[in-house]
Structure formats: C-alpha cells, structure tokens
Amino acid sequence: MSTVGNSTNIFWQECPVGRAERQKLLNQKGCVLWITGLSGSGKSTLACTVGRELHSKGKLSYILDGDNLRHGLNRDLGFKAEDRTENIRRVGEVAKLFADAGLICIASLISPYRKDRDACRAMLPDANFIEVFMNMPLQLCEERDAKGLYKLARAGKIKGFTGIDDPYEPPLNCEIEIQQKDGVCPSPSDMAGEVVTYLGEKGFLQYS
C-alpha cells in the first residue's frame, strides 16, 4: 500500500502485496545494516562477509557501497560538506527502499558525521536501523593504506580526508561495535558472525 499511497494517478488501487507479503516470501525481515568507520577500517570486508554468510543461510541481502554509488546515483555529487550530506541522505533513502522490499540492506560508507547517520536512522523504525561501528585505530587504518590515500592526505594532496584533516565522529549508541581484542583484529568471519548472530537474535532471519 505504501508504494501507491501518494500516487496522483487516477485509480486508487489498494496494492495487495506489501512489505509483509514480501518478507513472508523471503522468510526474513527487511532492515538496514549501516557500517561506518574510517577508510581502511574493513567496512567492505565486513559487508561482503556478512553478505556471504546470509546467502549461505538462504537470506537475501544487498550491499550499497558508498564509492560505487558515486559512479551512478550520486555521480553529480562532490566532496564538499553539503554534497557529503546529500550523498548519505540518498543512500539512506535507497537503503530504506531495500528494507521495504524485504532485503537486508548493507550500507558501507565512511559516513563520518553523526548527524548524517542519525538522519538515516530517523528514516526507519529504530529497530530496523542497525549501526555497525568499525572501531579500528587510525594508526592501523593508516598502516594498511592499500590505496595510498592516507599517504596522499598526509602530504596535503587530498584535502578534507576523514581522520587526517576532517573529523570522524564515532557513534554514541551503535548497535554493534567491532574492535580489536588484545591488539588483534577479529577475523572477517568472526566479525560477520557477530553481525549475523545479532540479526538472528533480533528476529530478522525469519518472517514470523
């Protein structure tokens, strides 16, 4: 019903297939996993590993990757403050649509500002927005630096780089926090296991 609620077309058609019916078909509940953290903190790794774990359980997920979307939906946006905010807003709106479609939508973006993440959270019923904070030390992320972005940022060749000359605001009340234990990073499989266990416990992996 929500998909035609504001239609200006002439026939008011009660749309008999809604979120509940899609969730029942998929035997899962739609939600948004929002993975936030510094560049190099392992967001994409976690996103892919969670996607694989879910698929092995017969569950349908879809990854919205911040960088990839900048080649499509968000290709008109740059990196100034208002563009970053609009970038996150659109990803939030699209993630909401995927959750409404019944999917477990995995959004993977640095999303450094708390207000932008909270605006996305506010688009959904609170329980359906699961914020996953990749709480890895800047030093570790910078050491990894596979793409050399930190090096460029330190050299002043990239301006406004999160963690270097632009702030990362950690979540205050995230649902899941991934961090080192005794100075050791959890394996991708362990990180993903924590997330998938959470989804199971909260009832997202079945319909009823």
Q: What would the x/- binding string for a second copy be over residues 100 to 129, using CB under 8 A?
A: xxxx----x--------------x------
What distance in Å separates the CA atoms of residue 22 and residue 47, rounded to the nearest whole number?
23
What distance in Å separates the CA atoms of residue 23 and residue 203, rounded to the nearest whole number?
12
Per CB under 8 A, 55 contacts a second copy: yes
Return the structure tokens found at 203.
Answer: 């009832």
**Residue selected from 65, 118, 175, 177 as contacting a second copy according to rule CB under 8 A:** 65
Question: Is the distance from CB of 132 to CB of 191 less than 8 angstroms?
Answer: no
Per CB under 8 A, 11 contacts a second copy: yes
Name the DSSP letter for residue 160. Answer: S
**Residue selected from 3, 180, 189, 197 as contacting a second copy according to rule CB under 8 A:** 3
Number of DSSP helices (H) and strands (E) in the chain, helices first:
8, 5
Q: What would the x/- binding string for a second copy be over residues 173 to 192, using CB under 8 A?
A: ---------------x----
Q: Where are the alpha helices (DSSP H) in 8-107?
A: 19-26, 43-56, 66-69, 81-100
* Total of residues contacting a second copy (CB under 8 A): 67
User: Is 111 one of the annotated active-site residues of the chain?
Assistant: yes
Decide whether 158 or 174 has the Cβ nearer to a second copy. Answer: 158
**Residue selected from 42, 112, 163, 171 as contacting a second copy according to rule CB under 8 A:** 42
Residues 6+ apart with CB under 8 A from 155: none
Decide whether 13 or 206 has the Cβ nearer to a second copy. Answer: 13
Residues 6+ apart with CB under 8 A from 198: 130, 175, 176
Q: Which of 111, 187, 189, 208 is catalytic?
A: 111
Per CB under 8 A, 171 contacts a second copy: no
Residues 6+ apart with CB under 8 A from 39: 110, 141, 149, 150, 161, 162, 163
Sign of CA dihedral 4, 9, 10, 11: negative
Interface stretch with a second copy, choices 37-45, 125-133, 172-180, 190-198 (CB under 8 A): 37-45
Residues found near a second copy in the complex (CB under 8 A) = 2-17, 21-22, 25-26, 39-45, 47-49, 51-52, 55, 58, 60-65, 67-68, 70-73, 76, 86, 90, 93-94, 96-98, 100-103, 108, 123, 141, 144-147, 149, 188
Catalytic residue list: 111
